[in-house]
Structure 1
Amino acid sequence: MTNIQLIATDLDGTFLSSDKSFDKALFRTVLKTLARNKIQLVIATGVHQERINRLLSDFLDVGLSYVTNNGARVTTSEGKIIFEKTLPLDTLKAVQKLLATFPVKPSRGLVYSTDDTAYVPREYVDVMTAARRQYFKKVILFDDVSEINAPIFKVTMNWHNFDETKFYDAARQQLGQHVHVTETGTGAVDIVPAGINKAVGLKILADDMGISMANIAAFGDGANDLEMLLAVGHPFLMPTAHITGPFESVMADNDHAGVLKTILKMIDN
């Protein structure tokens, strides 16, 4: 596939194994191969930058690009932010109202996220465990969204043993065209600004680099990857994915470095 100029990969369920690790030695080999072929790697994920920084702490100086927060923020390999779209206060108020009236509370937590800070409604402080706090620099409690004085890229909520499609339906009915509701890739639900998804963010990055979407390969496994996979010329779907489509197969699952192995084979061919 000699026409590939850019490769994008999701993290959770795709690049990362089930325990959130990855084969660092193989990753270094892949990065050297990509550099030799002048192909850049993009991390395209639903999570925020601080979480990525902690997961990929040994690789922050290798020139990766980032499409984060399900497309709401785009950063070039030089560290330049070329796109950001946040949720305005009136939309945050509408989200807060929806969550206050929705009959089933997010039992696993609720977070209004910047790229490094978790704003958490005070009533959810008990479910903001150490495991959840570790991926943020700061956790700030609030009683009303009007107290938040920072750009919010997404609102993330998580239930235990609940059919989240019921919330999707309620959110789309009450919030209309003001937001995009999608999965996070980590088993939760994200509310992001309207018109935002990974494909949008990746297209902004590709345009900035002068690369056609037809010359991009992308790896994903979930519904929040679907727009991106449909938009690129070489879409790869993980074998454990819960979506379907006209996508190419990855050599192995995320617990066996499937993305890295497939990239090496793709470049060699």
Structure 2
Amino acid sequence: MIKLVVTDLDGTFLNNQGSFNNELFNEVHEEMQKKGITFVACTGKQCERVEKLFGNHGKGIWILGDSAARIKKDGKVVKEFSIDRTLVLRAIEEIQGFDPQMTIIVCASDAAYVHSSISDDMYNVVKGSYEQVIKVDSFSEIESDFIKITVFDTEGRSTMLRKHVEQTLNGQIYIVDSEARWLDITALHTHKGETVKKLQDMLGVTAEETMSFGDGENDVELMTIAKYSFAVSNACENTKKAASFITKSNEENGVLITIQKMMDLQ
């Protein structure tokens, strides 16, 4: 019996306009609550951005945000997984050495930080995933605990950048090029799969009672923590290979329709 549903957001639960079918979600989520099934949004987006995205529809859902480095529920931080300050500053040096024009987003426990020189266009890109954004002249000014680093590269060189950073910090951090233009760095062993395992332990739910959905490279781990793992049809090949099943695309409400069908079966 399914007790936990975990889904990535961008490219999986959300359509290509970054939204979702509110009416269908309300219908499915209400039925999930009646059956005692917990809904989890697991995403690179900032938790507060996810809260705004769901608005009044988000009551009772768990958010594993900031690339699963933070756990929130109903506005309260349940757990955070910080990354060593020295490693963060060293990683920033390596990124800037690769290309100083890349957009670096340093996520801390209180906000996401960007350099004050960021262009308006890039700032708007950042605001698409981060609700609370602060500009600083230097990332060393940040006093809050570091949670993760995200890099956005308009030229799509995230794989090259990952290999560059790994030459110095491999084995000390978790780094993934989730898409061609996006790269995430978190504390070692902090990623979607491990954080979901921690939530499963907290809720007393097993992998056999879990259903998961994803599309990107950073969702491969989500396919390993659930017996019922689904890649949406628009997913990357590695995620499709790791998944037990393929479902409809993010443009076809694949996640919600699949949850609905699975609930009907049980």
Match for residue 95 of structure 2 among 67, 92, 99: 99
Alignment CA distance shift 1:188-1:89 (3 Å): same
Equivalent pairs counted in the alignment come to 263
Deviates more, 1:137-146 or 1:164-173: 137-146
1:88 CA drift (Å): 2.0
SS in 2 for 1:21: coil
TM-score of the aligned structures, taking structure 2 as reference length: 0.90
1:217 CA drift (Å): 0.5
Match of 2:22 in 1: 24
1:239 CA drift (Å): 0.4
Alignment partners' CA distance in 2, 1:232 and 1:54: 27
SS in 2 for 1:13: helix
Paired residues for 1:47-62 under 5 Å: 47-61=45-59
Match of 1:64 in 2: 61
Match of 1:147 in 2: 141
Q: RMSD of aligned C-alpha atoms? A: 2.1
- Structure 2 unpaired stretches of 5+: none
Q: Does the aligned pair in 1 maintain the 2:47–2:72 contact within 8 Å? A: no
Identity of aligned residues (%): 27
1:50 CA drift (Å): 1.5
Match of 2:44 in 1: 46
Paired residues for 1:123-142 under 5 Å: 123-133=117-127, 135-142=129-136
- Structure 1 unpaired stretches of 5+: none
Match of 2:197 in 1: 203
Match of 1:256 in 2: 252
Deviates more, 1:37-46 or 1:153-162: 153-162
Q: Does the aligned pair in 2 maintain the 1:87–1:193 contact within 8 Å? A: yes
Q: Does the aligned pair in 1 maintain the 2:193–2:222 contact within 8 Å? A: yes
Alignment partners' CA distance in 2, 1:115 and 1:127: 25
Bigger proportion of residues as strand: 2
Alignment partners' CA distance in 1, 2:75 and 2:120: 35
Alignment CA distance shift 1:258-1:8 (3 Å): same
1:172 partnered with 2:172? no
Alignment partners' CA distance in 1, 2:180 and 2:65: 14
Match of 1:238 in 2: 232
Alignment CA distance shift 1:185-1:52 (3 Å): farther
Q: Does the aligned pair in 2 maintain the 1:182–1:189 contact within 8 Å? A: yes
Residue deviations 1:77-125 (CA, integer Å, cap 9, x gap): x55533211122111210121122114631xx22112356221123335
